[in-house]
A and B are shown apart, each in its own frame.
Chain A
């Protein structure tokens, strides 16, 4: 089954929440914090490298103080645009400061079973199914995650199984976020190299990029740092995702939250550029505020939308691509709340020209994956893409001659100009516009029912170019070797 190609979204509209002066103040605040309070790098190797480069290092607390000069030099070395390759070159993505792409959400632990409609623990097969649906949807550009956790395979090699299951479901680029140790990073890259045709081919066409989580405030995770240094050696893009939560892991004030987010995104970039100057790095972020009642993660809200726009501006200032958490509603079901969250969180990063939005397909604050939600999120994104086009004004689009010709009281239905331009008007796939009577007759089928049918149809009919059997054999060998080494 052929896929429609999706035009990359290039927003003609622009939205700003910070003035240039605001951005500069946040930047200067981040530099001050990195130099004076420092950042925790709980990895001996990372601390060795940072110390060598002139950082003040406290071995006991594992905190490195990063001189502003070093930070600025490192930012200049990191590229502003680069390729995220697909297994199929048709799926290649060019990451820059003008284009916006949407990926799936990652690492949900529950899955809405499409057959029973019930929520259950996620499995390896769910990854392939989610990737397959994502692969079909033109709005989804790559797989972040895996979309769900493969909880039916041993924890020790789970990330490798998740990569295999993802590749079984799509030819798009894959960005694992569960590769969080040095050893695992090697095994995972070995798998990618098998598909790419060797390490050098992989560097030229990175089928993978890594995503690592920061441990806000002012800290990184040791295993993630070790894995990212392997990626840097191989020239594979890595992003670090701070998720500062106002009131808990960041100041209550949004400006203070942005300082923490900036420190926790920029500081690992410095390490990456020391390991391999020029290696592609991206910033990631999902800054938010806690729920004041429970202290929990919210998955949406006006603060998130403001922070997304502001952090987008900060990343443009640094000329480093941003992967922004989006579409990650806290709603438990695909309902009104999910739509509110996902319209805002999807639209705003597009209007600030954010390179990547991570997050289609989940509910309950990224904990539950739903194929229907994935399809409906993709539909929201297609509307956003249309909004972002803005309105083109020229002689042809003004159509003054035509309006004069039709005159008072006529209509434009049968005009050639209408046929020429009508396909520019957005068309739904699951959005319900049926007349009331038809809707009653259909058994009150709305977007969710349409999305359910569409998901089933895709799973039955869409075929993804399978991995070569030899590649699968190599995967099995690598996973077996990993099992042996990592179980020790």
Chain B
């Protein structure tokens, strides 16, 4: 296979959600001795862009987007160590740390957001569920993300979102990070009340808002 054929197959793997095929292609590609960056950009990202376009047109659906994101993640896991060796880095839209609030174990919505952000070119660190305030704050300090995503499904854990924002302020970390909140009971008024930077009602919205936030 030449480069062009690789790119076409990688794109297809993303479009069809074929994780194993994507990993195999990535490994084979490394044997060509070409920069992995090309595979990422002209193969996998091209596939992601196509998925995004088809989704916008109503031809593809959310499960296909999530599958494409998973393919992308798997391919990156193969290619990134090589990138690191060559001391080049891929272009990312921004770094996101995301998690569900303390005493809240709901993860599906937050995970959809994480997948969509990954698929859209963000680097995502998913802290999981039941994340204490201190962990969010220390991760912001350590990883210096562009965006912190806070998810709450319960009205009783919504105040934790406020708590994290306030703690970031107290620790002098607030200026360096945009806070994006979400979850079923959360709305725009709440986002404004707790001085969050953004709010989204679903994963697709979340990507749009995240892109706006990093471009600000």
What B residues does A296 contact at CB under 8 A? 201-202
A248–B108 touching, CB < 8 Å? yes
What A residues does B105 contact at CB under 8 A? 215, 221-222
User: Counting CB contacts under 8 A, is A247 at the interface?
Assistant: yes
Among B63, B109, B187, point to the contact of A247 (Cβ < 8 A): B63
A259-294, CB under 8 A of B: which get 1 and which 0? Answer: 000000000000000000000000000000011111
Chain B residue at smallest Cβ distance from A148? B155
B202–A249 touching, CB < 8 Å? no
User: Counting CB contacts under 8 A, is B184 at the interface?
Assistant: yes
What B residues does A291 contact at CB under 8 A? 62
A interface residue count range (under 10 / 10 to 19 / 20 to 34 / 35 or more): 20 to 34
B202–A295 touching, CB < 8 Å? yes
Cα-based distance from A290 to B187 in the complex (angstroms)? 20
User: Counting CB contacts under 8 A, is A367 at the interface?
Assistant: yes
B112 to chain A, nearest CB (A): 5
Contacts A215-B105, A367-B184 given; indicate if A295 touches B155 (C-beta within 8 A). no
Cα-based distance from A256 to B48 in the complex (angstroms)? 29
B83-121, CB under 8 A of A: which get 1 and which 0? Answer: 000000000000000000000011011001000000000
Cα-based distance from A291 to B62 in the complex (angstroms)? 8
| Count, A-B residue pairs, CB within 8 A | 55
In the complex, chain B residues 171-216 whose Cβ is within 8 Å of any chain A Cβ: 184-185, 187, 189, 201-205
A295–B185 touching, CB < 8 Å? no
What A residues does B203 contact at CB under 8 A? 294-295
Chain B residue at smallest Cβ distance from A181? B103
B186 to chain A, nearest CB (A): 9
What B residues does A292 contact at CB under 8 A? 61-63
User: Counting CB contacts under 8 A, is A155 at the interface?
Assistant: yes
B62–A293 touching, CB < 8 Å? yes
Most A CB within 10 A of own CB, among B58, B109, B156: B156
Cα-based distance from A178 to B189 in the complex (angstroms)? 24
Among B61, B109, B155, point to the contact of A293 (Cβ < 8 A): B61
A149–B155 touching, CB < 8 Å? yes
B159–A155 touching, CB < 8 Å? yes
B interface residue count range (under 10 / 10 to 19 / 20 to 34 / 35 or more): 20 to 34
Cα-based distance from A478 to B148 in the complex (angstroms)? 39
User: Counting CB contacts under 8 A, is A151 at the interface?
Assistant: yes
A155–B108 touching, CB < 8 Å? no
B9 to chain A, nearest CB (A): 26
User: Counting CB contacts under 8 A, is A158 at the interface?
Assistant: yes
B150-184, CB under 8 A of A: which get 1 and which 0? Answer: 00000111010000000000000000000000001
What B residues does A109 contact at CB under 8 A? 155, 184-185
A299 to chain B, nearest CB (A): 11
A155–B155 touching, CB < 8 Å? yes
Chain A residue at smallest Cβ distance from B116? A295
Cα-based distance from A249 to B61 in the complex (angstroms)? 16
Chain A residue at smallest Cβ distance from B185? A109
Chain A residue at smallest Cβ distance from B106? A215
B185–A367 touching, CB < 8 Å? yes
B204–A294 touching, CB < 8 Å? yes
What B residues does A295 contact at CB under 8 A? 62, 66, 109, 112, 202-203
Cα-based distance from A264 to B134 in the complex (angstroms)? 33
A158–B156 touching, CB < 8 Å? yes
Contacts A215-B105, A249-B108, A367-B185 given; indicate if A293 touches B204 (C-beta within 8 A). yes
Contacts A248-B108, A249-B108, A367-B185 given; indicate if A151 touches B61 (C-beta within 8 A). no
A294–B156 touching, CB < 8 Å? no
Contacts A290-B62, A295-B62 given; indicate if A151 touches B204 (C-beta within 8 A). no
Cα-based distance from A86 to B112 in the complex (angstroms)? 42
Cα-based distance from A155 to B155 in the complex (angstroms)? 8
A294–B155 touching, CB < 8 Å? no
B125 to chain A, nearest CB (A): 21
Contacts A292-B63, A295-B202 given; indicate if A151 touches B155 (C-beta within 8 A). yes
Interfacial residues, chain B to chain A (CB-CB below 8 A): 58, 61-63, 66, 105-106, 108-109, 112, 155-157, 159, 184-185, 187, 189, 201-205
Beyond the given A110-B187, A155-B156, A295-B112, please list 19 additional residue pairs across the A-B interface where CB-CB is below 8 A. Answer: A109-B155, A149-B155, A149-B185, A151-B155, A155-B155, A221-B105, A245-B108, A248-B108, A293-B58, A293-B61, A294-B202, A294-B204, A294-B205, A295-B62, A295-B66, A296-B202, A297-B184, A367-B184, A367-B185
Interfacial residues, chain A to chain B (CB-CB below 8 A): 107, 109-110, 121, 149, 151, 155, 158, 178, 215, 221-222, 245, 247-249, 252, 290-297, 367
| 9 pairs of A and B residues whose beta carbons are closest in the complex | A292-B61, A294-B202, A109-B185, A155-B156, A295-B62, A149-B155, A295-B112, A247-B63, A296-B202
- Cβ contacts A to B, 28 pairs, < 8 Å: A109-B185, A110-B187, A149-B155, A151-B155, A155-B155, A155-B156, A155-B157, A155-B159, A158-B156, A215-B105, A221-B105, A247-B62, A247-B63, A248-B63, A248-B108, A249-B108, A252-B63, A292-B61, A293-B61, A293-B62, A293-B204, A294-B62, A294-B204, A295-B62, A295-B112, A296-B202, A367-B184, A367-B185
